[in-house]
Amino acid sequence: MKRKNKWLEPAGLLRIAAHTLGWGLLAWLVWSFFDDPINPIQATIQRSGYYALVFLVLSLTATPLNTWFGFRPALKVRRTLGLFAFMFAGVHFLTFSVIDYGLDWNLLRGAIFEKPYILLGLTALTILLALAITSFKWWMKSMGKNWQRLHRLVYLAAPLVVIHYSWSIKGDVLRLQGDILEPLAFGLVVVLLLISRLPPIRRTAVGLRNRLALKMIQPKTRSTPPIEKPHP
């Protein structure tokens, strides 16, 4: 039998979808900046930050899709999704620091250090930067076990980004007043995605799935359990 075109396999399709979404949103962002909105800087900062959060959450979805549902192609787009999250976080930060504040250090210093709001986002961005730089195979190999340790920092970055986002809206998440629905929804999703990775919970999920697979495919012989890669 002839081998199918690899782009038509699930992983290939996912990759095409991720790139279409990522580059499409970037093009849309640039286009709308010049499309003469009233306050293009604020619009660009808000949108790029939002896209970064969406991609970060999507990248965190990849691993549970594999461990819980055995959907291995998801792992093939995880890095792409993470890199898009970093790209939009970079656009977000550069619009803020270069276009908005014109790299005016006096103003920037106040904005960054007067309140934790921006510092939190900056911490998350630093994490994403480190992960993006070390996202290549070469780093993965040469860092060995440390690579995985480093990349677990994404579990810190995601909640930081959600808090940073919830602080940017007008309302009070803790008092359930105001413009809070989206920050709460993102927070809930991130918490669930992190819980789904806790070893006991993950093991239960994998066990359940294996038993189910055994029953359905080969009730008599033992099958090798699906490979569970220890990925972030």
Partner 1 sequence: MTDYSKYKSFPVHPSEITPEHVYLNRRAFMKTAAVVGAGVFLAACGTEAASPASPTAPADLTTGSQTDELGDPLNTYEQITNYNNYYEYSLGKEDVAQSSQDLKTSPWDVQVYGLVNKPQTFALEDLLSQFTQEERIYRLRCVEGWSMVIPWMGFPLSALLEAVEPTSDARYVRFETLLDPEQMPKQSSSLWPWPYQEGLRLDEAMNNLTLLATGLYGKPLPPQNGAPIRLVVPWKYGFKSLKAIVKIELVPDEPETFWTTVAPNEYGFYANVNPDVAHPRWSQASERRIGELGRRETMMFNGYGDEVATLYENMDLSVHY
Q: Which of these segments, 54-62, 63-71, 102-110, 131-139, binds partner 1 (CB under 8 A)?
A: 102-110
Contact 114, 104 (CB under 8 A): no
Among 20, 142, 146, 177, binds partner 1 (CB under 8 A): 177
The dihedral region occupied by 162, where left means phi > 0, alpha psi between -120 and 50, and beta the remainder, is: alpha
Do the Cβ atoms of 53 and 168 come closer than 8 Å? no
Is residue 170 within the footprint of partner 1 (CB under 8 A)? yes
Report the candidate in 77, 66, 73, 78 with the shortest Cα–Cα distance to residue 225.
66
Work out which of 26, 65, 83, 99 binds partner 1, going by CB under 8 A: 99
Under rule CB under 8 A, residue 32 binds partner 1: no
Q: Give dist(CA 162, CA 108) in Å, integer.
A: 22
Instruction: Pick the closer one to partner 1 by CB: 30 or 212.
Output: 30
Distance from C-alpha of 137 to C-alpha of 135, rounded to nearest angstrom: 7
> Can you tell me which of 17, 28, 35, 115 binds partner 1, judged by CB under 8 A?
115
Q: Which residues bind partner 1 (CB under 8 A)?
A: 37-39, 41-42, 99-102, 104, 107, 110-111, 114-115, 117-118, 167-168, 170-172, 175-181
